[in-house]
Amino acid sequence: MNKTALISGINGMDGSHLAEFLLDKGYTVYGIERRSSIKNRTNTKHLEDKITFLQGDLTDQNSLLRCLKESKPDEVYNLAAQSFVGESWNTPEFTSDVTGLGVLRILEAIREYDPTIKFYQASSSEMFGRMVENPATENTPFYPRSPYGVAKLYGHWITKNYRESYDMFACSGILFNHESERRGIEFVTRKITNGVARIHLGLDDHISLGNLDAQRDWGYSPDYVEAMWLMLQQDTPDDYVIATGETRSIREFLDEAFSVIGISDWTPYIKIDSRYLRPAEVDVLLGDFSKAHKNMGWKPRTSFSELVKIMVNNDINLIRHDITDNTNHQ
């Protein structure tokens, strides 16, 4: 395609999957990463010779402008954020600055450098929070229940505002929960699959969790990054809900994860820890992706059980590899 893309949050789960997807499409890919003495490239190590890393920060607009000048992108995907919902209560100001105002800074940088660049904003189902309509569509009223959700809502509305004010091709993907084997260990899904792997390998005897009754609409990240790309290939910019249309509880996630290692009753392995309960809980998140299917032909391809199986088996292999490495180095 000979197009160039700039991805913020390149080293995150979605960023790394999107980079792979775009490279397969023939894109030249640049990724923004924060300056650090130790690079966090666990998810992108296998792509280091295929993408160009640029130093930038969503809290510094000049750095974003420099990244645009250096990469000269056709498309910008803003996936960077303080993205852990639980942490947003501990660092609400930082979360608002990065996850909310960061979107404004990157939009302003694009407007200043080249307003014809197509822009994708990673919005979140957490903006719906206490869902007033089930399942949620693009027209469902928002009711965020965390500093993260509120910050994402600012990013969503400022993207819409710039689209309408400056005629920019700016889209938001309202992505419901999506996971992969590259998900950070602090997220409940990966915490479960890593914990199940450790129990299977005899390294742990329990997993500490919070609310087991929360229900989420879980999809697979590689399916969802395709939707991000499709949004920027449309004739007109718009916002889309990306989801599976199915909701599952944490208990069901545990059912699937433990079944991979042949355990049907997981209750002896789970401890409830009040530290993991949120001040304001989001009970159910469920999305309706019919607009994305109708306009872009997108639909999820990976089932819930396939997703969980991929994550558990990957964690088992990762831990086995670490054990082997440690043994060899002793």
**What phi, psi does 320 have (nearest 5°)?**
-60, -40
The residue type of 259 is S
Whether 148 is catalytic is yes
Distance CA 323, CA 57 (A): 36
| C-alpha–C-alpha distance, residues 93 and 284, integer Å | 26
Are the beta carbons of 130 and 145 closer than 8 angstroms?
Answer: yes
Per the residue annotation, which of 148, 220, 224, 240 is the catalytic one? 148
What lies within 8 Å, CB to CB, of 231 at 6+ separation is 120, 171, 173, 237, 238, 240, 296
Q: Which helix (H) or strand (E) holds 241?
A: strand 240-242
Chain centroid, CA 99 distance in Å: 12
Q: Identify the CA nearest to 234 among candidates 75, 112, 110.
A: 75
End-to-end Cα distance, the chain: 49
Distance CA 191, CA 250 (A): 12
Which one of the listed residues 124, 125, 172, 180 is annotated catalytic?
Answer: 124
Let me know if 172 is a catalytic residue: no
Q: Examine the residue annotation and report whether 37 is marked as an active-site residue of this protein.
A: no
Tokens of 88: 């947003």
Q: Cα separation of 8 and 31, whole Å?
A: 6
- Which one is catalytic: 75, 126, 179, 256? 126
- Residue 121 in tokens: 């904003």
Q: Which amino acid is at 73?
A: P
SS3 content of the chain, % helix, strand, coil (to 5): 45, 15, 40
Active site (catalytic) residues? 124, 126, 148
